[in-house]
Amino acid sequence: MMSDLRAPRGPVVRRVLAPDVELVPDALLGEERGDAVYFNNPVDFVTGLDGSDASLLLVVGRGQWEDTTGALEHTLRFAELLRERGIRHELDVWGEEAPHDWPAWRAQLAKHLPRFV
């Protein structure tokens, strides 16, 4: 069991702010999944964790481009995977006024970033 999220030879990560999680489709990854995929695709990485004491904050909107980019669907799926793995997380789903674009990300960061500094 891994208790923290760790990059190889890197620091321990206990809190993560993840705006608009976009997952890499399995069809693009193929059968070969090395460290590059494992540490850069959240679904691959999280499946190797159980009960981590990390805490993740997932933020996504329901506005323009969130559905066509897959960000809303992927973020909801990732939150479910975290729940299944027993990893503490918070899901903040914004409304239709929050498109998949910089103005929404700026507002989301302004709301949540103070918790991380």
The CA distance from 46 to 34, in Å, is: 15
Distance, CA of 79 to chain centre: 8
Q: How crowded is residue 21: how many other Cβ atoms within 10 Å of its Cβ?
A: 21
Within a 10 A sphere around the Cβ of 40, how many other Cβ atoms? 10
Domain boundaries, the chain: 5-116
pLDDT at 113: 87
pTM, to two decimals: 0.69
Please tell me the predicted confidence (pLDDT) of residue 110.
92
Q: Which residue has the tokens 């729940």?
A: 83
pLDDT tens for each residue of 60-95: 888 888 777 788 888 898 899 889 888 888 999 988
Tell me which of 55 and 12 has the higher pLDDT: 55
